[in-house]
Amino acid sequence: MKTIVIGLGNPILGDDGVGWRVAEEVNRLIADSDKPSAIGHQPSAIRPPPSAIEVDCFSLGGLSLMERLTGYERVILIDAIFTGQRPIGSVTTFPLNELPNLSAGHSTAAHDTSLRTALDVGRSMDIPLPEEDQVTIVAIEAENVYDFSEKLSPPVEAAVPLAVAKVMELLNK
């Protein structure tokens, strides 16, 4: 199954860059997955094979994001989210159709449409896109997403390894 992992956000807007950070770490782990470790242990296998997985970072939502998903059967989107219902740094996963607020994060924009609507439009035009149930969101609860900074807040920084582990778990399903 051809899979794409996309870190969403903006790496110069504080916690909004967490999606990129997680995606970069996932990409490093995938690249290292078929290399033996320095102490001679064989790395754990990743399913699907690394050649079937692409990792990218993206700052746009809606129609632009839909175009980026063309030709993939499975998608994992990583993004900062603010629900106010969980502690900052909490990591949650859910299918796209359960996104709590379609105007939150980078799956939509004020001058665009939601990703769900964009996927429906693309499918109506026979663009090869993943089914909605094959799009999974890995969300990291964040609050400081508008401050100019290349650093994540401490609770969001601490969540990066948890989010990476969740993405790797999803890849191995």
Q: What structural domains does the chain harbor?
A: 3-171 (3.40.50.1450)
- Split at pLDDT 50, 70, 90, the class of 33 is confident
95, 91, 75: which is closest to 83 by C-alpha?
Answer: 91
**67, 125 contact by CB (below 8 A):** no
Computed over every residue of the chain, the mean pLDDT equals: 86
Counting every residue written for the chain, the total comes to 173
Contacts of 104 (CB under 8 A, 6+ apart): 81, 82, 83
State the maximum Cα–Cα separation within the chain, in Å, rounded to a whole number: 52
pLDDT value for 75? 97
What's the whole-number mean pLDDT along residues 9-14? 93
The mean pLDDT value for 55-78 works out to: 94
Residue 57: φ, ψ to 5°: -120, 140
Higher-scoring residue by pLDDT: 97, 168 = 168
Q: Out of 35-39, 64-68, 157-161, pick the least confident.
A: 35-39
pLDDT value for 42: 47
Q: Are strands 3-8 and 74-81 parallel, antiparallel or unpaired?
A: parallel
CB 113 within 8 A of CB 63: yes
